[in-house]
Structure 1
């Protein structure tokens, strides 16, 4: 993708103040950061800017303080974890605008890294208030956005700033956009998408967009039951949105008109209760007992899914195939994930995955590191899959 500038274009930046939007909305338990994935993702950008002698000023949000100062949502404790991951001193300022921010920036020397306090402590952030964006811009000469996961929001620090300063994509943003371009923008065909999860209602836009872009759409998880029921299959006591039968039929009609194959389960793992080690059996999809629920797809379905993955050049994955959190209902997701990872390792497949449950499922299968790209951006990844514009990305493309 050549329609935005990357750090490759930033050559002589020693002494320049580089306002860098990052994602530090990390999980915290008992005051401690419990997962450093998002910090590790931004580390290459920060190290590169610092090593080139820039004054690296970090902008980030944490939680939803809604324009008020909420002590428990301060970024100050997180600055220590950033320091630890980078193995580099990270200074902290108790505000992101005004005198405190200005004085902290003034005190910086080349190569320093400074984290400013939570941008969402100001109402102007989420309102994308031009006056607030201007106050942020006063502390910078250059703007770098490395927070793809916040790119679906038109906020002052993700969108407004890009119109006020020379703007560039950081390394994480660049990697994400390049992976997404290979996934759906300009993919190698055939393209197969796997969409799982509990409900069709949460992924209507996604399914409608995908049937016009992919060659096969594999539907798993609870949402497959809604499609099966719409086709007249009895799904017993399974999770199912019967009121969306007409919508499911419409998606299948759209798919047919776009020559997109819809791949539904042909067999299922059923149980009478949803708990670990529950007594379960595999049955034909047309023989689900009326007092049982579908909790995973069966071996024949996995063979069919793997057959589609085997024929694909590109795979886009969002959502598990079954209730993977509880054994043995994780088997189909694990089997398909391992097969996709093997195809990727052999250079036969470009595999792009994202969304919270998906990342957890691939980690559970032990193959997250073997996919071509795994996005940690939940909402932004979904909106990209839905074909919606991402304001934070569009602002970089001016």
Structure 2
């Protein structure tokens, strides 16, 4: 892992520039990342050393505090190269927001400082089993100036690549608390058991907690973020939408290249696949849908930033609904674009060396983050009845 402090990004424009340069530097290695199910350490280190993991640190603490639109665009740009790469800091950005919302001034100074140095956060939030995603079995017990945590987590994205792994647990009073643990802490074990057919290199498997003992000053009152309206939920959702948008754009890029190399269909009457009217119709539709998804993502980012300074029931609900609209379209277009890539590229686009099937596999897996089928319902209930959506990380 890196030893020197990371570069500190100062502006939104610099964040976009660094993301583009990083994307371009890893494009040729993306197929190998998927095939080998791991992101090489030099790529992981470059990602954070460029300062891209620190772009949301508040200006008051030396960060760029970029807009949500810039954050979403940075994630999408990286996802154009590889969906796994874009997902490993997804929860990191959410955790930075958790620190901002729930942390004490001393915790702000310490943890924001770590991120500016280049330290990476993963997560140990979700669990297998339970009656639903919010049913947590991991327990946190207070013991003087320390806490003790026991449980088993799954979907712990980025755990292999992280310096710190924050753990979500329930205390003696049934409250959800977040406690930060260093990855090599005694009692914390990262298990490399992520076997999904997509997002293969995200290290989203298990984290086992066995009498994990940590200082109490690393605990954050996570439950407060949803007891009162905050942007935590819509921010979490826009990071997932941005990954899907980037996968769609990457698939579209490869579709254009594959079409230029494809042979025209025998009945088309043209001498180049680039002149096939049916192909042009599909590509035109994809272009429209990707641009529409980009527009909805920008709109939802503006809604989040509008609510951030003074969040209340109404503006946070408006932000959540706006992100839900974007999430529906980014889900649909990532699946469509990655499927059309294989169709328009023809049989040769399925050859193993190209690895182009990774776009569909990544889109299919990542869009399962939460059920998009519930989003039109929430949007409709809001539009017709004025019903405010639930406050959690999945709407």
Structure showing greater radius of gyration is 1
Higher helix share: 2
Higher strand share: 1
User: Do the structures match in fold with TM over 0.5?
Assistant: no
